[in-house]
Each structure stands twice: as C-alpha cells, then as structure tokens.
Amino acid sequence: MKSTMMNYQLTIPAILQRAKEIHPEKQIVTKMNDESIHRYSYGEFYTRVRRLMDALQKAGIKPGDRVATFGMNHYRHLEVYFAAPSMGAVLHTLNVRLFPEQLVYIVNDAEDSIIFVDKSLSKTLSDLLSQFKKKPKFVIMDDLEAMEAAPLADAIDYEEFLKNGNDSSLPLPEVDENKASGMCYTSGTTGNPKGVVYSHRSVYLHSMSICMSDSLGVCEKETVLPVVPMFHANAWGIPFACVMTGATLVFPGKHLLGHALASLLEQEKVSIAAGVPTIWNVLYQHLKKNSYDLSKLHTMIVGGSAAPLSMIEGFKKDFGIQILHAWGMTELSPVGTVCRLRTTMKDWNESEKMHFLAKQGPAVAGVELRGIDDQGRDIPKDGKTPGELIVRGPWVTVEYYGNPSQESFTEDGWFKTGDVVTIDEHSYIQITDRKKDLIKTRGEWISSVEMESQVLKASGVLEAAVVAKPDEIRGEVPVVFVVPKEGESIDKKSVLGVLKENFANWQLPNLEDIQVIDVIPKTSVGKFDKKVLRTRF
Amino acid sequence: MKSTMMNYQLTIPAILQRAKEIHPEKQIVTKMNDESIHRYSYGEFYTRVRRLMDALQKAGIKPGDRVATFGMNHYRHLEVYFAAPSMGAVLHTLNVRLFPEQLVYIVNDAEDSIIFVDKSLSKTLSDLLSQFKKKPKFVIMDDLEAMEAAPLADAIDYEEFLKNGNDSSLPLPEVDENKASGMCYTSGTTGNPKGVVYSHRSVYLHSMSICMSDSLGVCEKETVLPVVPMFHANAWGIPFACVMTGATLVFPGKHLLGHALASLLEQEKVSIAAGVPTIWNVLYQHLKKNSYDLSKLHTMIVGGSAAPLSMIEGFKKDFGIQILHAWGMTELSPVGTVCRLRTTMKDWNESEKMHFLAKQGPAVAGVELRGIDDQGRDIPKDGKTPGELIVRGPWVTVEYYGNPSQESFTEDGWFKTGDVVTIDEHSYIQITDRKKDLIKTRGEWISSVEMESQVLKASGVLEAAVVAKPDEIRGEVPVVFVVPKEGESIDKKSVLGVLKENFANWQLPNLEDIQVIDVIPKTSVGKFDKKVLRTRF
C-alpha cells in the first residue's frame, strides 16, 4: 500500500524561508570586536542571505562547491551559514584555532573554493596562502578590530561582495534533502583530521530534535547566546534551531571571557547560553567577584567535556542557573544526549539529583545508543560497568569524507564513538573517559576523568588533568596536573589525601607525579590537550 | 558532493523502541467503562505490543494489510496503534460515530483485514456484518461495559488473541520510512468519505514537530489526556508524541463529560488536555457549578473548530487554564498551526492578547501555508482580506486514496484546505469559515463563524450556528440557530440587537430566521453539522 503523503524535502532553505514568513521581526544581535552592538531582524537577515546567494553564484560557486568560513560567531557568519547551502553549495566551517599544518591539510582536503574570513584572523590565512593548492577566493568580514586586513590574493570586502548580489522574492530553489549541506573536520587527536559531511535532511532533523522540550528546548521565547564557536560542530546546531524557531540570537564575537561576556549576557537578557566547561569555569570565577543581573539566564548548556559536579552545584546555588549537560560529537551534528531530570526523580534528595545532573543523560529523540564491551556485547545498564558508546541515527555519520576505512563503525553500521561510558537503569549515560585516555594500572582501568573530578575537591585547585605514564611495576601510573586558583596555592599532599578517600593505594599517583602548572594546554575546541601533557614527562 | 550521514529510517517502530529504552517506567492510565482505573508502564506496553505484532502475523496479517480499530481511547487501542505499523501493516482507525452507510463504505473501500472493536460498540458492527465485502476477522476489546459482546463472526477476545503471540527481544523489523503506516477517512461533508494514507516518516516528523516547545510542547514532564478520539485524525498525533517522549498518557475511555471527565483530570493530575470546543464548553459549565482541584492543568488544546473568545477568556479568568488554539485536518496528520503569543507581543494589553489567542496561529515548523484568492493570487497579510488556505509539508496529503482527482490541489502541488482564512502581519491565521459555509448576501460574503461568535454575546446563548438560506431579493440570508443555557431563555430581539452592533442592516437575519432549538446537531467528530441544519428550512 502506498502512502499519500507529499514528498516534501527537509532542507535548510525551508528553515530560512520560515524565518522570513513567521518571525521576520525577531532579532539577531552581535557584539563586534570594538564592543559596539550590531542589531538587525530576521527579515533583514533574509534579504541579505538572498543577496549573498546571488553573489556566490555570480562569483562562480556551483552546487557542491565548498564555501569555507574562518571566523568567530557573528551575523555575517550566520548569513554564510544559510546562503551557501541554500544555493546548493556546502558550508565548510574552519576551526580558527587549528595548528597551521592542520589548517592547510583541511583546506586542501576539502578543496575550498572560497573562504570568508574575519578581518582580525586574516593574518593566519595570509601566512599560509602559498600552501593552498586550489587557490580559493577570499572575502573579508570586517569585525571592527582596529587593524588592517592582511594581504590575501584578490580579497574583497564582504559588503562589496554582497553588492554583486540582487534581491530576490522568488521562491528559494528546491534542494534534494539528501544532498550535502555542510562539512566539518574532527580535531583529530591521532592522524589527520577527518571530514564529516552533513545533509540538508540531517541538519533539519537535528534542529527539530534540539527544539523539543526534553532536549535543548530552543524556542521563540528564548534568547540564546552560543559561546561555542560556529566552527565547533555547527555551534551544536544552535544557529539552525534559532532560525527555525525565531529565538533571539546573540553572538559574542571575540568576547568570550570575564566582563565582556558577562555584560553581554546581562544587557541582552540572555536566557540560554551554550559553551564548554572551561568557559563557564572562568565565568563562574568572574561572577563570584563581580555583580551582574543575570536573572533571565536560566540554562547554561555544557558540552565538549563533562562539567564537574562542583560547577553544577555552584551555578545552581550561587546564581540559580541550571547547567544542562549535553553530549555530542562532530560525527553526530553534534547532539546525542541531553541530561534533564525526569519527573519520576522529583522526590529524590538534592545530592542524588546533582549526581544525575553530572551525567550526560539519555539519548535525544532520533538518536539510538548502546554501550558495548571489547567483545561487542551490550554492557548491563547498571551505571557501573564501562563500555564503548556506539550510536546511530539520521544525523550520525556513516563514514568519513574520502575515507573508506570502516574501523570507526560496527559491522552492522553503528558509529563507535571512542567514548567510554556507563549506562544506568534510567538509560542515562555517563562518559567516564575517552577510550585512549584510560589509565591501566596493575591490569585495572582507572578513569582519568573520575580522578580529575576528585582532585578538584582539594583546596586551591582551579583545573586538573590526569594522564597515564608508563611504569615498570604498575604498567601505567596516573600523572596529575593541577592549576591553582588565582592568588591561592596547592599542597600536593592534600591532593593525595583527597584521592586516598576514593582510590586504592595501588591506583594513586606518586607524590612527585602531582605537578602544579600555570595553565593546562587546550585543544582548538577548548578541551584539555592530553597529547601535549603526555610530552611533559 | 555526497553527504556522509546515515540513511536512518524515521519509523514508528523507532518511536516504540525509544519508549522501551528511555522511559519504560512511565505510566499509561485508562479509565475503563466501569470507572475502574487501568494502569501500566511503557515497559509493559512494549512487551504486549511485541506479542500483538506476533499474534497479528500468526493471524495471517501481511505487510500492507489494513488493521482497523473501532474503539474509544484506551490502552489496548494504543497497543494496536503501534503493533500494526511496527509489523508493516496499516493502522486504520474507524470513526465510531459514523452513519452506518458511511461505515460500510469505508470498511469496504479500505478492505480491512481485521477489526479490533470495543465490546460496548460491537453491536454497531454486528448489525452491518453482511454488508462487509472482505469478511474481516474481529477481535473484541473488553472495555468493562456491563454487557455481552454482540455476535461477530468468529470474534476472539483481545487477551486470548494476544496469547497467540510470543514475546520477543529481537530488534524490531526495519521498515522503509515512506511505506504506509496508517489511514484515516475524512468525515466527508459532500460525497463519499475520502481516505488519507500516512507514512512512517510523516508520523515521525509530525510527532517531533508537536513536541517542539513552540508547538504543542508534549514532553516527559507532562501528563496528557486526549479527549479527542483516537479515530479523529490520530487524536491529533498525541499518542505518538507521548510514546516518543514518555509523557504520561491518560485515556478517558467513554468518560468525556461532566464529573466523569473532571474527576479524572483531577485525580491523575493532568497537565495538558486536548479536545474540540464543544467538549470544553460542557466542561466549563460543569466546573462553574462544581469544585475540583485542577491546579496541574495548565493547557487545553483546542482544535476541530474555533473556540469562542468568551471560552478562552472564561477558562483563563476562572480557572487559570490556557486555551491553546490549534488548527489541523485529517489531510495534515493533522496539526498545521498552533497559537501561542510571541515575546514581541508581551507588552500588549489583555484584550489585544485575547484577540490573538482566538486566532489559529502561525504554521508549526514543517508546514508551509499561504492564503489565495479566487484567481490563485496570494492575499495580503493584513488580517482582513479573506482567502482560501493552502498548505504543504511532509505530513500533508498529496492525493486521496484510490482517487486520482486533483481538484483539492493547486497545479504546483499545494493542498487546498477549503478553509477561508485571514493572515495577519505576524503570519497568524484566523479561520473565518469553511468555503462552502460562507453566506453571500447582496454579492458580499458574510462569515458564518463571525456571526456565530457575535450571537454568543447575547444573553442566555449557550451555542449558536449560522447557515445560509436562499433569498429572492438578497441572494442568501443567514439563518441563526441558538441553544439556550440550562434554565435560561433567549430573546430573539436581543440576539438581533447584538448583531446590529457589528453587521450592516442588509447582512442581518430576518427575525423569524432566528430559531431557538434544544441542541445543534453534530457531525461524527463533534463539529456543528450544517448540512443537517440546512434541511430544517
């Protein structure tokens, strides 16, 4: 029997068109680099996107061509986000914090035809120009940084480029929902970075899912500030979800810390902010010492790494802000789980609730997940047994771009995340570690993440990172790097004392392997760079 | 360029599987016909659905076969809702309030293979048995009505039928998302009823959309009671959305009025209820005279017909309950619009807000809509100019079952709804009438719905329906049918007086065309049956 439903395509132009039809009066706000505020409506945004689509076409960009961006979070970046896929091209966000050799590799691997670059970041690309094989065109997005743009072959200013495009009130082009709409490279902790290619369908479905009330709950009444960069797994899909629903969008530009961020949250009455734990840790310290009215800010979405329990408790107790844990990966568009307490947990005591809020939560609608052991058998849902997290769903990658290797996939097509998790009876997952970051001591696994969260309880500790070091007797031993809070010092013995409460003697680090350092090196997406730490012993 | 996203299928078994994995402990509650409460978990529900899938297969049901239901809202009906499409068959809900000849037509047109029927409704089918061409099998669902089931050829009790099925913990079968999953016939105000065939994809996407915060907002923390029957456009998709999210589901069985309904809302702490305005009108009168604790009930979803402004204001003022207007059709799975106020309207005064809440609202994400005039041109978004509403989207029908006629569709494939609307600058639609219910007086259109809402302001009026009567001089004149409130009477002159405030003299009904009647005849889905009213003069 045949269904009589329309073969309607789920596409990014359909999301764009909805913004114009339903909520053209809602606002998109950007804090520029000179701290001025740029403000316009979704209606104006739409008009400019249509012009940009036409300008891209006139610049010779064809369906399937890669249109790259190299910029922070701002309104012009959002225009490229929609113009490129709406005219059939592929939006390719470049991570501005990559090492030069990775950047060159990625631009050449993706064969970018054109790159939209922030003026303040133009020097980075200018230095690498000779190494780009395809000789992309450049468009400079003026972020109002007090400087001249670096020399880039035939670069044109964004607003000049836009003038080449005509307005259009014609219906947007129809696109096949399975066509490529965007691509993003994983940061690549081993080997070369690997590309993931999204489709219109995957972006549309991911947007619907994160707008569901049990997921991130993006909706018209929220004012959403993504600190998470637009080059970091699509800023977790937030730009697409906001345009779909008419949520007010607030872009921080380069202002990601201290007063610059806190005052933007206050002035624009932001209700949902999203970023990695390190960002919120710095903000928390700032808020403790300075006063802001953040009464509208009810939710801080945390992803990228796990937020420590102390941070979750601190934001709740001191500022009434809920930390909403989410877990995702570039390979998942990226959202896989969101941690909200369930109504069946409402009578639990505060400490049980906090314990659960520190987990990553159950799969969002659309994603299926399992935990498997080394033999590929499902782990029990006991909240204790670790296993590798595997996932599938309409916004999960089935391979890497130009890479036939199936080593990251099970035989029946699930994606192997490389994350080690426990799954409890409520199907809440907790990431215990990256598979390669586990420490094997006397034949038993120790989770580096678990040890880090214990170390944070020691007096004066701001940040902690634990990595494995080969050891003749024990196989591997943990090395603990700690960063002291501003103006405080750390006593190594008290760190060891705290660890003794939760770990057996043979699991403990040697006293000399507790190292106090000024800063923990971070990867391009703000995670602890354990690869770098491992080089320090 | 090729996307690397998984070709994951959006299917009803995937929704079912999620219920088992993520929220097996959440509850499904049914008030049986003897007023006892049946209560079980989504986990138990899943087990029984798996058994039912197997039992259906053993009964010879094949992929594509139509599995019909003829019942009220209860847990067994929900089991068939999921078992039939999950094993590849097509769920066909039969409207229990149809006239016998329509019922026979539909069963024969759909070629139902098996019919699951409530014990209390078995007599209706028993009387028609000889007219069913395909000789369907029958399964009796015991609703605990104090009666014997009527004789139906080889009928088997539901629980006996279930015993034929085995448990299974195997993965659910993989289904193509574009395959048919269900069908439903429109009530058919002219000609024969017409069938619409849903797909797995359309049901999945519709479920996601109504779970979005700006739409119906179905989510885990809600307790949802659909008064709207499961045979009326899939109970507006609520059963699927609840199973997807783990919202607590409360089924009223046959208890749709007065104390039986109000006490269920109170006892089960229902937070969202959904039904047609006539149901809520009766409940409102009951609540005014009796006392219940409905403090958890924050939202009443109204669809099927427009709720009068007085009802919206009354529920808000007297009980603090928000009436949430939605508009939909069987042809749309059914939800097309939901009316929530936007944050940009927050400073409006109460009367402006109420005026907007009486509209049907903007299109939900996934649906595109337009209003067109007789020449097919878009009407202006001025909130005044009427036009026919046309729609498209992934859960909109593109044709009727077995019916090649394209008269309900535009040349470029939009569905013509037959509803007359205005669209305002905020893209909120307001249904002013069915196209065929408009009254043409002296060459000008009068909206019957608008006149009805004015008549409701006259003293003592409970319900009002307006239809057109041919008139030699004016072309058509309105005939007004009014039903008095309990214990009150209606003065025709005062009705005319109220109308004079809003209509020109040549638009007014003649005094003798204002008719006081005991009850307005309703269609099988609870709408005013204007076809019947027109036979009364």
Are A197 and B395 in contact (CB < 8 Å)?
Answer: no
Task: Check CB contact of B43 with chain A, cutoff 8 Å.
Answer: no
Q: Residue A466: what residue type? A: V
In this predicted structure, what is the pLDDT of residue B190?
Answer: 59
- Please enumerate in sequence order all residues whose Cβ is within 8 A of that of A355, keeping only pairs 6 or more positions apart, or say none: A309
Q: Is residue A40 left, alpha or beta, with left meaning phi > 0 and alpha meaning psi from -120 to 50? A: beta
Q: Which fold has domain B16-255?
A: Rossmann fold (3.40.50)
Task: Check CB contact of A396 with chain B, cutoff 8 Å.
Answer: yes
Q: Which fold has domain B438-534?
A: GMP Synthetase; Chain A, domain 3 (3.30.300)
Write down the catalytic residue from A445, A457, A469, A531: A445
Are A401 and B362 in contact (CB < 8 Å)?
Answer: no
* Cβ count within 10 A of residue A473: 8
Question: Does residue A188 register a pLDDT over 70?
Answer: no
Strand partners, A223: A248
Whole-number Cα distances in Å, A316 to A114, A242, A299, A358, B26: 45, 25, 10, 12, 27
Are A214 and B245 in contact (CB < 8 Å)?
Answer: yes
> pLDDT above 70 covers what percent of chain A?
99
In this predicted structure, what is the pLDDT of residue B535?
Answer: 85
By Cβ distance, the residue of B1, B220, B343 closest to A343 is: B220
Distance in Å, alpha carbon of A50 to nearest chain B alpha carbon? 19
In this predicted structure, what is the pLDDT of residue A190?
Answer: 59
Task: Check CB contact of A401 with chain B, cutoff 8 Å.
Answer: yes
Q: Residue A97 in contact with residue A170, Cβ under 8 Å?
A: no
* Cβ count within 10 A of residue B473: 8
Are A1 and B362 in contact (CB < 8 Å)?
Answer: no
Instruction: Look up tokens 């939202």; give the residue.
Output: B299
Rg (CA), chain B: 23
Task: Check CB contact of A365 with chain B, cutoff 8 Å.
Answer: yes
Q: Which residue of B has its CA nearest to A9?
A: B394
Question: Which chain B residues touch A179 with a CB distance below 8 Å?
Answer: 1, 3
Which residue, among A351, A343, A355, has the nearest Cα to A306 in the 3D structure?
A355
Are B397 and A220 in contact (CB < 8 Å)?
Answer: no
Task: Check CB contact of B218 with chain A, cutoff 8 Å.
Answer: yes
Taking 70 as the pLDDT cut, the residues of chain B under it are 188-190, 525
Q: What is the pLDDT of residues A461-487, one digit of tens each?
A: 999 999 999 998 888 999 999 999 989
Distance in Å, alpha carbon of B442 to nearest chain A alpha carbon? 35
Are A197 and B1 in contact (CB < 8 Å)?
Answer: yes
Could you confirm whether domain A12-25+41-200 is CATH 1.10.1740.10? no
In this predicted structure, what is the pLDDT of residue B189?
Answer: 56
If DSSP states are collapsed to H, E and C, what string results for A397-441? ECCECCECCCCCECCCCCEEEEEEEEECCCCCEEEEEEHHHCEEE
Q: Residue A47 in contact with residue A72, Cβ under 8 Å?
A: no
Window 226-265 of B, Cβ < 8 Å to A: 244-246, 248
Question: Does residue A144 register a pLDDT over 80?
Answer: yes
Are A400 and B198 in contact (CB < 8 Å)?
Answer: no
By Cβ distance, the residue of A3, A178, A211 closest to B198 is: A3
Range of lowest pLDDT (A78-92, A206-220, B193-207, B500-514): B500-514
If DSSP states are collapsed to H, E and C, what string results for B241-278? HHHHHCCEEEECECCCCHHHHHHHHHHCCCCEEEECHH
Instruction: Please compute the mean of the pLDDT values over residues A500-507 and round it to a whole number.
Output: 89
Q: Which residues of B are catalytic?
A: 186, 331, 440, 445
By Cβ distance, the residue of B21, B218, B365 closest to A244 is: B365
Task: Check CB contact of B444 with chain A, cutoff 8 Å.
Answer: no
**B contact test, residue of A4, A61, A221 with most B CBs within 10 A:** A4
If DSSP states are collapsed to H, E and C, what string results for B362-377? CECCCCEEEEECCCCC
Q: Which residue of B has its CA nearest to A344?
A: B26
Task: Check CB contact of A3 with chain B, cutoff 8 Å.
Answer: yes
By Cβ distance, the residue of A3, A198, A362 closest to B197 is: A3
Instruction: Please compute the mean of the pLDDT values over residues A23-41 and round it to a whole number.
Output: 98
Task: Check CB contact of B533 with chain A, cutoff 8 Å.
Answer: no
Are B213 and A214 in contact (CB < 8 Å)?
Answer: no
Return d(Cα B342, Cα B480) in angstroms, integer: 36
Question: Which chain A residues touch B403 with a CB distance below 8 Å?
Answer: none
CB–CB contacts below 8 A, A to B: 191
Question: Does residue A442 register a pLDDT over 90?
Answer: no
Distance in Å, alpha carbon of B212 to nearest chain A alpha carbon? 4
By Cβ distance, the residue of B4, B179, B205 closest to A399 is: B4
In this predicted structure, what is the pLDDT of residue A243?
Answer: 98
Task: Check CB contact of B62 with chain A, cutoff 8 Å.
Answer: no
Q: What is the pLDDT of residues A273-286, one digit of tens each?
A: 999 998 999 999 99
DSSP letter for each residue of B284-312: HHHHHHS----TT--EEEE-SSPPPHHHH
Window 451-490 of A, Cβ < 8 Å to B: none
Are B23 and A213 in contact (CB < 8 Å)?
Answer: no
Task: Check CB contact of B409 with chain A, cutoff 8 Å.
Answer: no
CATH class, domain A367-435, is: mainly beta
Q: Is residue B366 left, alpha or beta, with left meaning phi > 0 and alpha meaning psi from -120 to 50? A: left
Q: How confident is the model at residue A434 (pLDDT cuts 50, 70, 90)?
A: confident
Are B21 and A363 in contact (CB < 8 Å)?
Answer: yes
Active site residue A445: yes
Write down the catalytic residue from A186, A330, A422, A432: A186
Q: Long-range pairs for A369-378 at CB < 8 Å and ≥24 separation?
A: A369/A336, A369/A337, A369/A423, A369/A429, A370/A414, A371/A421, A371/A422, A371/A423, A371/A429, A372/A410, A376/A410
Domain ranges across chain B? 16-255, 368-435, 438-534
Q: What is the CATH architecture assignment of B368-435?
A: Roll (2.30)
Return d(Cα B409, Cα A522) in angstroms, integer: 57
Task: Check CB contact of B336 with chain A, cutoff 8 Å.
Answer: no
Beta pairing class for B223-226 and A223-226 = unpaired
Distance in Å, alpha carbon of A443 to nearest chain B alpha carbon? 33
Task: Check CB contact of A361 with chain B, cutoff 8 Å.
Answer: no
Q: How confident is the model at residue A90 (pLDDT cuts 50, 70, 90)?
A: very high
Are B368 and A5 in contact (CB < 8 Å)?
Answer: no
